[in-house]
Amino acid sequence: MRTAIIAGGKGTRIGGFFPDLPKPMIPISGKPLLQWQIESLVAQGICDVTFIIGHMADQIQAHFGDGATFGAKISYVVEDELLGTGGALVLLPPEDTLLLYGDIYCEVDFSRFISFHNEKKGDITLFAHPNSHPHDSDIIVTDQESRVMAWKSKNDCHRGDLRNLVNAGLYVFSSGALPKGPATKRDLERDVTAPMLQGGKMFAYRSTEYVKDMGTPERLAEVENDIKSGMAASRNLKNRQRAVFLDRDGTINKLRGLIDSPDSIELLPRAAEAIRLLNKSPFLAICVTNQPIIARGMASHEQLDMIHARLDTLLGKEGAYLDDLLFCPHHPDKGYPEENPDYKLDCQCRKPKPGLLLEASERYSIDLSRSYMIGDSTADILAGLSAGCTPIGIKTGEAMNDGKYADSIQSAYCTYDTLHGAVKAILEENLRLATE
């Protein structure tokens, strides 16, 4: 697949600190950002690259030449007049194209991203992830099939609660979806991708991998620190990940029976702080929760999504996020009023069965033997044990007093008073092992 990298902008926020360099040539840990991108692509067998350049284009051409030194085949589209982030796309060959912004540092398994695009058979796929500041980010709204349904601007003060999912600046375009017409100034999001929403063939690929733009000195410093610590590279899904799986009700938010309204979601004290600690650690934070309100006819998938949007919003206000949230909509027992017969079954995803954890492991390349399951009930503990994780009980919510699977788990777990206490213990143990 051909790759195109948009590398022609001036970088107004950070350019003043490097006035003699185009933004994509700013050095990170000793070499230009664009070189990091090229080396990552070539290492994964993606060698045919086109740079879209304009501002200080000669420096980029002088450094990379035809790409042979880097194991690549590099060509150039040079903008005599800056055409914005999307204007020069009409000059690319009509081929399937992986498109990257030139001001991002990424550690991504591109084969997974491209495979997802091919499976969906869409026109365009966005690389998307949650972040720690969704309140001031443009949010992508998707359906159950990962189809992008809307794009909510950060400037929309009436947009309400939304799931935490933002565009990371990587795309795959099918050949027929690249823009056509004259090479006029265009914005990639506003003028190219937004009009494609109506066709229903735009998808979002959700990933936990490392993608960060370095448009400010603070972000540049963060990227350099993450490279030096090894954290950035470790998040590439070519590497096995570690996760802390979290129950929802009674673990992250207060236990209030079967929650069927967003208004009933209230975070437990210091729960967001605990998740924020995980976000800054080597561990993914993934919620796995039984939600029989679907099977019992108490809510639709759309209504449950609104509940989870409220959860994401409350966490986001405190600078925390879940890398993903997986739920089981089933219930094995019949006889409830207004129940949905399609979901009344004995499934493999309802805890204490480990199906949700196994699904997450497959999706995010998680080493379950080096991961944890935290919850407030014996079902959580048994699910963790069954998946091969280290289980931890906490004394909020049901406080491990439900007794349903006590005989199966016996004393094969430890307990802490709160989610924060459990996460702190995990991270302290991880740090001790890393320094031994």
Tell me the catalytic residues.
Answer: 247, 249
3-state secondary structure the chain: CEEEEECCCCCCCCHHHCCCCCHHHCEECCEEHHHHHHHHHHHCCCCEEEEEECCCHHHHHHHHCCCHHHCCEEEEEECCCCCCCCHHHHHCCCCCEEEEECCEEEECCHHHHHHHHHHHCCCEEEEEECCCCHHHCCEEEECCCCEEEEEECCCCCCCCCCCCCEEEEEEEECHHHCCCCCCCCCCHHHHHHHHHHHHCCEEEEECCCEEEECCCHHHHHHHHHHHHHCHHHHCCCCCCEEEEEECCECCCECCCCCCCCHHHCCECCCHHHHHHHHHCCCEEEEEEEECCCCCCCCCCHHHHHHHHHHHHHHHHHCCCCCCEEEEECCCCCCCCCCCCHHHCCCCCCCCCCCHHHHHHHHHHCECHHHCEEEECCHHHHHHHHHHCCEEEEECCCCCCCCCCCHHHHCCCCEEECCHHHHHHHHHHHHHHHHHC
The whole-angstrom separation of Cα 87 and Cα 179 is 9
What lies within 8 Å, CB to CB, of 328 at 6+ separation is: 289, 290, 291, 292, 347, 349, 350, 351, 355, 356
Strands 139-142 and 104-107, sheet pairing? unpaired
Question: And the tokens for 16?
Answer: 């003043």
The whole-angstrom separation of Cα 131 and Cα 360 is 19
> Cβ distance 114 to 172 under 8 Å?
yes
Task: Report CA-CA distances (Å) from 317 to 161, 194, 367.
Answer: 11, 27, 30
The whole-angstrom separation of Cα 291 and Cα 312 is 16
